[in-house]
Structure 1
Amino acid sequence: MTIRVGTYNLHGMRDDAAALTRVIAAARADVLCVQEARRSGRWRARRAALAASAGLAVATPGRVGGVAVLVGRRLRVLHAESHALRPFLGLERRGLAVAVVQAEGTRLAVGSLHLDLSAPARMHHAAEAVALMERVAGAYEAAIVLAGDVNEQAHQPAWRYLAGRLADCHAVAPDGDGLSFPAASPSARIDGVFAARDLRVVSCGGVDAPIADLTGASDHLPVVAELRVGH
């Protein structure tokens, strides 16, 4: 069985709502890790409606950090939790959302993360998130998949740390150039999916959607990894 795990920075859900819905539907994700999800003004209802429009449901609680994990009907949600990461004076509060899902006897602990523009905060939160993921994965005997907006590129410290602990899915099985920001003229790969090394990465790349929708929906492009699970 192949599971599609994606990551998408929603830019606060303040751009073209119809285009955003179409892009998420085009991603065909079984699990979608989102960042900059709505955090005010009927945020629960807005998140739920967006997820439902693409056949998904919001699995994780809370609004901390604007991160959430959306899950499709093919998967069973065993557990979900959200964490506020260590605060840094003067910086936005960051969070980690985690959902443990099961498909054909395989369990995945999937986390959504949005790292800061500050390099020291990024590095600390990357390590903190991995430690939290390892704790949850260990409790449920699940393989880790951590995805999100890293706010730096593959040669920089936090990305290198994540890629040292987990497999950078695009580096393993690239589909396209992987560039994700800015959406209108992508020049940087700052959004990624990282998976436990015992998971088979089939491919990792962008979403086949009209350019007008991709540029109208958000300032980031989504990234989706296909992972082979089970036998």
Structure 2
Amino acid sequence: MAGPGVPLRVVSYNIHSQRDDTTALAGVVRAAEPDVVIIQEGPRRFRWRQKCASLADSFGLVVAAGGLPALGNLLLVSLRVRVLATRCRRYPLTPGRHLRGAAYAECLVGGARFLLAGSHLSTDPAERPAQAAAFKRELAAATLPVVAGVDLNEGPDGSAWRTVAEGLTDAAVAADRADRHTFPCADPRRRIDAVFVDRRIGVVDYDVVDTPRTRRASDHFPILVDLSLPAAG
């Protein structure tokens, strides 16, 4: 018989390429005390490894996967989380006007294994469906329970959103908080960022963190989710 679930605190956050108040950004993430952080628009250019490490250090975390190989998608973890394997993807396969990618990390925490994934889809509606399908193929092929953070650049009524969400739990909906908008901070009116999880994972709590500090830190609000992972055994 399986034991009680293993808690996991997740932040998913488009950090606007660190173009805003980086001190506020670090304070936002540290205050959340996450186990894992899924970053969109992280370092992806010159000296990206050093910049990713510096960003992780400012949060009190370490780099798991991502950066340039994932075109700015970045996965960070606390020392509570053991990273077992990582991979990065870029899509579309041929260079396009809006190159995007994804980062993946197989992780272990408290005896529970899971796949952590992050992606950022194009602002171009003509490009998003193929990118969503590529991301979804990776998620659907996973044998581990999936925890995915995504900036979809469209709302729940969009086809790309529906592609990614199929068969997964939308954490906002599960917590009855789908009315919480994530973008833009100056005038929040859209929910274009989401955390999707395997149906074996329980959603304990969900919040879009709207504070004076988060309004200074990025043009997106961070999503904070408490999960209960299925324990091994």
Do they superpose with TM above 0.5?
Answer: yes
RMSD: 1.8
Matches for 1:104-123 after TM superposition, within 5 Å:
104-123=110-129
- From 47, 65, 70, the counterpart of 2:71: 65
The residue that corresponds to 1:170 in the other structure is 172
Match of 1:189 in 2: 191
Identify unmatched segments of 5+ residues in structure 2.
Answer: 1-5
State the partner residue of 2:161.
Answer: 159
Q: Which residue pairs with 1:133 in the alignment?
A: 139
Aligned length: 225
Gaps of 5+ in 1: none
2:88–2:101 Cα contact (<8 Å) kept: yes
CA deviation vs aligned residue, 1:99-130 (integer Å, no higher than 9, x gap): 11111221110111000012232111111112
Which amino acid counterpart does residue 7 of structure 1 have in structure 2? Answer: S
CA contact (8 A) 2:118 2:148 kept: yes
Q: With structure 2 as the length reference, what TM-score do the two structures score? A: 0.89
Q: 1: distance between equivalents of 2:187 and 2:31?
A: 20
Whole-angstrom CA distance in 2 between matches of 1:98 and 1:178 = 26
Distance 1:62 1:179 in 2: 27
Residue pair 2:201, 2:230 contacting (<8 A) in 1 also? no
The answer to whether the Cα contact below 8 Å between 2:44 and 2:67 also exists between their aligned partners in 1 is no
Further displaced range: 165-174 or 57-66: 57-66
Give the secondary-structure state (helix, strand or coil) at the position aligned to 2:127. Answer: helix
Change (3 A) 1:18 1:119: same
* Cα gap change, 1:216 to 1:96, in 2 (>3 Å): same
Partner of 2:25: 20
Q: Which amino acid in the other structure matches residue 119 of structure 1?
A: P
Higher helix share: 1
Query: Contact 2:64–2:105 at 8 Å: present in 1 too?
Result: yes
Contact 1:87–1:94 (CA under 8 A) maintained in structure 2: no
